[in-house]
Amino acid sequence: MSDEPLAMYRHARAGFALPAPRTWVLHEDPQEQVAAAIVAPANGDDFRPNIVVTVDDLEPGHTLESWQEFTESVSPQLLDQYLLIDNELLEQRGHPVFHRLAHHANPDGVALTMEQWCTVRGNRGFTLTGTAGTMDLLDSAGLFAEVARGFRTDEDDEDAEETDR
């Protein structure tokens, strides 16, 4: 558990909500497919930890598994020094979630570690990515996990309402 105070953030257009650190800077829709980028305050380090949510429109018939196989096949071309450390299939709110831990470097050569949680609802793929400098990951890992546990899509909320009836 993190000491960072959190507040629920809902992105109405993209259809998700998550607990976001109150002191971090939120950028909504900063670029295509990036619904939210939440960045830690500047503290003089080479890299500011961040949490990013991307939403991909998937081709009909794409499953979580096929989407993640594709993602893993292109990651070495998209991310400098990409190295998959670990992955696993989890379940959250009755839906499968692909969890990935990987290393890469930013354009300045700073070693980064990212943790991702990916899930599919209908024809949309949601990816929550927490990234920190590799040497600082332990400072952010608990926060990233807490945000991931609280991540929900609008469909999750609708499912919960149906169950409550």
In a domain, 7, yes or no: no
Cβ–Cβ < 8 Å for 105, 131: no
Domain residues for the domain of 159 are 18-164
Cβ–Cβ < 8 Å for 20, 26: yes
In a domain, 5, yes or no: no
In a domain, 58, yes or no: yes
The pTM score is 0.92
Which amino acid belongs to residue 46? Answer: D
In a domain, 137, yes or no: yes
In a domain, 11, yes or no: no
Residue 93 belongs to domain with CATH number: 3.40.1000.10
Mean pLDDT by 10 residues, the chain (165 residues): 85 96 97 96 89 96 94 96 97 96 96 98 96 95 98 81 50
Number of domains observed in the structure of the chain:
1
In a domain, 98, yes or no: yes
Tell me the pLDDT tens digit for each residue of 78-118. Answer: 999 999 999 999 999 999 999 999 999 999 999 999 999 99
